[in-house]
Structure 1
């Protein structure tokens, strides 16, 4: 049984927007190129850019739902951010932090730790997993959540990297500790992804408007998608075949 890639996404700054891609070249042991290159440490964070640290150290959609309505575009070391409540911002995260912090502060709740600095760990995207991961998401599982809630949902809520269709609901959970080939690349599936309140926010408005976690709970879990590690690199394109090895 095989599926096909429907969408490819990267998130240049963790929790601050995503960008659709027509193709992407993945490399063994690395995150998706351009994905979570930077992360925004808040004022209570201990992150200093020397090593990977858990997501609690960063500004994120579960605490600041307006962040979910950001879209992003990465060109070299320059990022352009868009949001329905803010003017577009083009800047270099490595050298122009203050202009970003001024831009993003109105999107952060006043009762939450404020964004303080942008960090970057050389050679390591700041994924939520302890290992450099690429997230795989199943369109059949997404449609099932939509049916539970009786409403259409944007797939952007899940912040996945590689989306596929043509395989059964929750098929991806049977892939743990197995290898999956996507186009010429091969991944080892390592973990299910446990979801948080970020998924309840609408990526168009930044408002919480769907009980995605409650819907997942009807299946007895709070998981959507899986984290995988690249074991063989290659260029992946929309339409490529997805199959378990």
Structure 2
């Protein structure tokens, strides 16, 4: 039997993750509060007067700023405040919608960002969707068995948080999720259509506890499995609630 083993949201793109126990998905939408905000830099091409989805290169991401991977997040949805924590910085609670708070965040996170690279400038959001890597509103689905296969290839412990997934499943064979492309999958009370495999970047090489690049995840994927993919992007077809332990059915 295939079941849901963990659920994660990432309130600010590339700036921390938070485990949750239940979530209600809506058709055609990203996971609530997942990548709701994104951090801009000096080369960001984003029109704040006409906000729309933009690709990852427009924002601060762990591929170019590895230490961001060491951030953890906790969201207070009622007040739209986020608490970020990092082993080297301590914690900061702020509202990404408030200009003064954003400047406090920029100053706080600066030590994680090399001065000779892109540095954070502000925070933006897009109405009614999260700033996922895909141009369509997506939710990422991960397979625990595939994760274990990567661990075995590396002969080292690999934290699941490195993959930045939303929904983790257990009870299927390694890489079986790749066979689900273009199929509908019922997860709890929601139906998701599996759209495409997720091609991975160097962000996965960074330790989620300190942001240090310490394992060659991409080398393991390419060398042992002949691809650079982990997880599947999915689109919500029918909304509904998903909780830990829910059953999964492939159609």
Match of 2:232 among 226, 231, 234: 226
Tell whether the 8 Å contact from 1:48 to 1:119 is kept in structure 2 after alignment. no
Q: Residues 95-136 of structure 1: CA distance to partner in whole angstroms, max 9, x if unpaired?
A: 021001001111011221111110000101000001000000
Query: For 1:33-72, what aligned pairs fall within 5 Å after superposition?
Result: 33-49=32-48, 50-72=51-73
TM-score if structure 1 supplies the norm length?
0.98
Residue equivalent to 1:24: 23
Count of paired positions:
244
Residue equivalent to 2:83: 80
Match of 1:89 among 92, 100, 120: 92
Match of 1:164 among 160, 169, 193: 169
Q: Provide structure 2 residue ranges, at least 5 long, that are not aligned to the other structure.
A: none
Query: For 1:89-238, what aligned pairs fall within 5 Å after superposition?
Result: 89-95=92-98, 96-217=101-222, 218-238=224-244
RMSD: 0.8
**In structure 2, what is the Cα distance between the partners aligned to 1:220 and 1:172?**
16
- CA offset at residue 242 of structure 1? 1.4
**In structure 1, what is the Cα distance between the partners aligned to 2:193 and 2:114?**
38
Q: Provide structure 1 residue ranges, at least 5 long, that are not aligned to the other structure.
A: none
Q: Is the counterpart of residue 6 in structure 1 residue 5 in structure 2?
A: yes
- CA offset at residue 43 of structure 1? 1.0
**In structure 2, what is the Cα distance between the partners aligned to 1:243 and 1:140?**
17
